[in-house]
Structure 1
Amino acid sequence: MTEPMLNEPREWTGKWWLQGDPDNKVPGVLAYSPNDGLRLRLVGGWEYVVKQPGENDSTIITNELRHWPSVLGIGDGKFVTLLDVCVTSANTFNIARMFGVPDKLELSATTALIGFHLADPDDAVFVAGIGQVENLTTWSRRSGIEEKHYFGAKVGELSGQIDLTRLDPLSVDIGPLTATLHHVAWQPFSGESRGGAVVRVREQASIEFSSEEAKPLQHWLDLLGGIADLMSLSTLRACGLITMRVYLPPTPDRFPEDHPLRNERHEIEVYQQLLVTPKPDEKALNQRNLVLTLDDLSFEELLPKWLEVRGTFAAARGMILGLQYVTGGYIETRVVTAVAAAESMHRALAPDPPIPSEEFKQIRETLLAAVPADRKSWLAERLTEQSNVPTLKQRLLSLVDRLGAAGEALVLNREKWANAAKNARNNLVHKGSSEHDLEVLHAVVEVTAGIVILNLLKELGVPEERLTLAVQEQDVLSQAAKLARTLLNRV
Structure 2
Amino acid sequence: MLEEFVSLGKWWLPNNPEVVVPGKLSFSPVSGAKLELIGSFYSSQFEEIGQVEGIELPSDFVSIEENFNLTSRVRIDFIKPEEIIILGLLDNNEEITLYRCSGRMKSFEFVKNRPNLLFNIACIFRKIHFQDEQNIKLKSISVQYSHLEQWIGKSGIQAVILEEENKIWISYQPPSNIHLTKIGSLDLNITFSPINVNPFDFYLGATYYKANIEQKTYLTIQNPGNQPLDECINLLISFRDLLSFAMTKPTSVISVTGKTDVIQTKPIEQANGSITLKEELRETQVIIMFGLWNSEKNSETKLSPNEMLFLFSDVENSLGEVFETWIKKRETYESVFDLLMTTMYTPSLYLHYGLINIIQALEAYHTSKYEGIYQDKKVYEKGLYKKFLEVLKDFPSESVDNENGISDEFRNALKGKLKSQTRFTLETRLKEILSEIFCLLPPNFIGSLEARGLFARKASETRNALTHHDKEKRKKAGKGQELVQLFHTLTVILQICLLRELNIPDDSIKILVERNRVYQKEWRPSSN
Q: Please, what TM-score do these two structures have when normalized by structure 1? A: 0.76
Query: 3-state DSSP class of the match of 1:160?
Result: strand
Q: Residues 435-474 of structure 1: matches in 2 within 5 Å?
A: 435=474, 436=477, 438-439=479-480, 440-464=482-506, 466-474=508-516
Matched, 1:397 2:427: no
The partner residue of 1:420 within 458, 462, 465 is 458
**Residues 139-182 of structure 1, C-alpha deviation per residue, up to 9 Å, x if partnerless?**
11211122223444xxxx54332232222211143442421111
Match of 1:32 in 2: 27
Deviations 1:379-411 (A, max 9, x none): 997788x87543322322333333335435554
Runs of 4+ off more than 6 Å: 47-51, 251-255, 371-384
CA distance in 1, matches of 2:288, 2:196: 26
Give the distance between the partners of 2:297 and 2:45, measured in 1 at CA. 34
Aligned to 1:57: 72
Structure 2 letter corresponding to 1:185? P
Distance 1:305 1:34, change over 3 A: closer
Classify the secondary structure of the residue corresponding to 2:311: coil
Contact 1:291–1:467, Cα closer than 8 Å, also in 2: no
Amino acid of the residue matched to residue 335 of structure 1? L
CA distance in 1, matches of 2:247, 2:485: 20
Matched, 1:159 2:173: no
Deviations 1:409-465 (A, max 9, x none): 554443233222222222333456661365244443333223222322332244445
SS in 1 for 2:176: coil
Residue 314 of structure 2 corresponds to which residue in structure 1?
Answer: 296
Identity over aligned residues, as a percent? Answer: 17
Conserved 8 A contact 1:182-1:207: yes
2:295 maps to 1:276: yes
Kept after mapping to 2: 8 A contact 1:397/1:415: yes
Q: Deviation string for 1:70-116 (max 9, x for gaps)?
A: 451222352512435355943626242xxxx32x4454434323335
- Structure ID, larger Rg: 2
In structure 2, relative to structure 1, the CA distance for the partners of 1:169 and 1:366 (3 Å cut) is same
Q: How does 1:39-78 map to 2 (within 5 A)?
A: 39-45=34-40, 52-53=49-50, 54-55=52-53, 57-58=72-73, 66=80, 68=82, 70=84, 72-75=86-89, 76=93, 78=95
Q: Deviations over 1:206-255 (max 9, x none)?
A: 1123455443322211111112112211222211101123566x589999
| Deviation per residue, 1:100-134 (Å, 9 max, x gap) | x32x445443432333548679x996564331111
For 1:182-222, what per-residue CA distance to the aligned partner results, in whole angstroms no more than 9, with x for missing partners? 122335799xxxxx943222211111234554433222111
Gaps of 5+ in 1: 191-195
C-alpha contact (below 8 Å) 1:235/1:292 kept by paired residues: yes
Q: Is the 8 A contact 2:8 2:22 kept in 1?
A: no
* In 2: Cα distance, 1:397 partner to 1:124 partner: 53
Paired residues for 1:245-256 under 5 Å: 245-246=257-258
Count of residues in Structure 1 that have an aligned counterpart in Structure 2: 456
For residue 85 of structure 1, what is the aligned residue in structure 2? 102
The answer on 1:185 being equivalent to 2:194 is yes
Find the counterpart in structure 1 of residue 405 from structure 2.
none
TM-score, structure 2 as length reference:
0.71
When residues 437 and 416 of structure 1 are mapped into structure 2, their CA distance, relative to the original with a 3 A threshold, is closer
Determine the C-alpha separation between the residues in 1 that align with 2:470 and 2:136. Answer: 48
Report the Cα distance in structure 2 between the residues aligned to 1:424 and 1:118, rounded to whole angstroms.
58
Amino acid at match of 1:421: A
Kept in 1, the 8 Å contact 2:389–2:415? The answer is no
Q: Equivalent residue for 1:94?
A: 111
Q: Which amino acid aligns with 2:187?
A: T
Secondary structure, in 3 states, of the residue corresponding to 2:216? strand
CA distance in 2, matches of 1:40, 1:252: 28
User: In structure 2, how many angstroms separate the alpha carbons of the residues matched to 1:319 and 1:124?
Assistant: 35
* 1:322 and 2:360 matched: no
CA distance in structure 2 between the aligned counterparts of 1:29 and 1:372, rounded to whole angstroms: 67
**Shift in alpha-carbon separation, 1:316–1:351, aligned structure 2, 3 A:** same
Query: 1: CA distance between counterparts of 2:214 and 2:279?
Result: 26
Q: Is the 8 A contact 2:146 2:253 kept in 1?
A: yes
Q: Distance in 1 between matches of 2:149 and 2:491?
A: 26
Matched, 1:346 2:358: no
Q: Which moved more, 1:19-28 or 1:414-423?
A: 19-28
CA gap of 1:284–1:431, structure 2 versus 1, over 3 A, is closer
Q: Whole-Å Cα distance in 2 between the matches of residues 73 and 290 of structure 1?
A: 43
Counterparts of residues 374-385 of structure 1 (less than 5 Å): none
Q: Cα gap change, 1:118/1:369 in structure 2, threshold over 3 Å: closer, same or farther? A: farther
Query: Is it true that 1:336 corresponds to 2:350 in the alignment?
Result: no
What CA distance in whole angstroms lies between the structure 2 residues aligned with 1:11 and 1:417? 56
Distance 1:20 1:262, change over 3 A: closer
> Is residue 80–residue 117 contact of structure 1 (8 Å, CA) maintained in 2?
yes
TM-aligned CA distance change 1:20 to 1:326, over 3 Å: farther
Tell me the distance in 2 between the aligned counterparts of 1:260 and 1:69. Answer: 30
Contact 2:32 2:122 in 1 (8 A): yes
* CA-atom RMSD in angstroms: 4.3
Report if the CA contact (8 A) 2:374-2:424 is conserved. no
Q: Hey, what does 1:193 align to over in structure 2?
A: none
2:406 aligns with: none
Distance 1:39 1:238, change over 3 A: same
User: What is the aligned counterpart of 1:202 among 209, 214, 230?
Assistant: 214
